[in-house]
Amino acid sequence: MPILVMKFGGTSVADLERIKNAAQKVKREVERGYDVIVIVSAMSGKTNELVGWVEETSHLYDAREYDAVVSSGENVTAGLMSLTLQNMDVPARSWQGWQVPLKTSSAHSAARIEEIPRDNIDAKFAEGMKVAVVAGFQGITDEGRIATLGRGGSDTTAVAFAAAFDAERCDIYTDVDGVYTTDPRISTKAKKLDKIAFEEMLELASLGAKVLQTRSVELAMRFNVRLRVLSSFEETDENSGTLVCAEEEIMESNVVSGVAYQRDEAKMTLVSVADRPGIAAAIFGPLAEAGVNVDMIVQNISEDGRTDMTFSCPTNQVARAEQAMTKAKEDGEINFHGLVADTEVAKISVVGIGMRSHAGVAAKMFQALSSEGINIKVITTSEIKVSVLIERKYMELAVQALHDAFELENAG
């Protein structure tokens, strides 16, 4: 039998009625001839509740016990989904991560998947089981302890199972009906895409699009797992949602496929840094050690042996970055005259694999922003992306202007 992986997020299994709705979708796929592996998240709000209980019990908690507690939400959903399917006369069985077993690294709360042996689940399929309902977000370490994959880890679980079981496709059911050209809450002209390439989706996910977890898209691209993003709350067929696939499956690529934004960005500038070999390592090494997620980096032209170094990071990491740079200066690793933090910026990006073969994307982007009186503070580019930092108060205007400039309401 061909295998299909179906993943249901927290809002899709928020209560018993929604679990029943999801189970109906699973039953339809079984009737179409699939053996189905269902990956479930915890019921909406449950993981936050469990995390709150852990933090209230112990501020300096043991990460192993944290994982033991927060993974329980998915276990409950898996059992309830299996019971619901059984009531619909669908042979189903629930599986916790350790029962598969989904083997992970020992980095508790941020574990990486190392292996998913097929033997146990394949044996049950052979005995007549039609649906394996697997608790997402969790696995087991070599030491026999439960480990979780980090928030959003159920998406990664689903893609990993699709790769391990050579699934025909991995369907991600969520509260939106696909991947849009931008956030529909900002632009009423946002359009759902029928298809999007792995690389584009990876860029959009890393740039703030909340539809799929970045790690899951990386994994899908690595193992060429076809993903489909669908709504749990609408009737669906084989043409529903957005297919995330290899570039070769897309007949004609859009020059720009989407506009992404990140609201909570900060621009930090080290003023008058001594310009010498190794200075970048001396700056960004301590930042990495401090856990600062540096994104855009720009170095000004050197004058008289000194330069300015600008980088962006999330606003909630500004204090950490300032502390790391101050310590590096005190330790004599770097020398600078000042550190300026601007916490009122946003990052806007246009993404599209069509940029590889079309010139003028950056020019059109800059002209569109200029026409709205929006000043650009920092620019970075890649093969399929152009990103800028602007004042945060212009963020929504910038998204709308770029969506109009690239006529994304006509995207395929």
Annotated binding site: 7-10, 47, 74, 174-175, 180, 185, 210-211
114: tokens are 């190392």
Q: Which residues are annotated as a binding site for ATP?
A: 7-10, 174-175, 180, 185, 210-211
Alpha carbon distance 23, 87 (integer Å): 10
**N residues, the chain:** 412
Supply angle C-alpha 112, 118, 121, rounded to 5: 110
SS3 47: helix
The number of C-alpha atoms within 13 Å of 210 and in the hemisphere containing its C-beta is 10
Q: Which residues are annotated as a binding site for substrate?
A: 47, 74
**Full 3-state SS string of 232-298:** CCCCCCCCCCEEEECHHHCCCCCCCCEEEEEEEEEEEEEEEEECCCCHHHHHHHHHHHCCCCCCCEE
Cα four-point dihedral sign 367, 198, 238, 138? negative
Alpha carbon distance 28, 21 (integer Å): 11
SS3 59: coil
- Asked if residues 167 and 225 have their Cβ atoms less than 8 Å apart, the reply is yes
The DSSP H or E segment spanning 2 is none
Helix axes 46-57, 72-87, angle to 10 degrees: 150
CB-based burial, 216-237: b 16+ in 10 Å, e otherwise: bbbbbbeeebbbbbbbbeeebe
160: tokens are 């990993």
Alpha carbon distance 99, 157 (integer Å): 14
Output phi, psi for 121, to 5 deg.
-70, -40
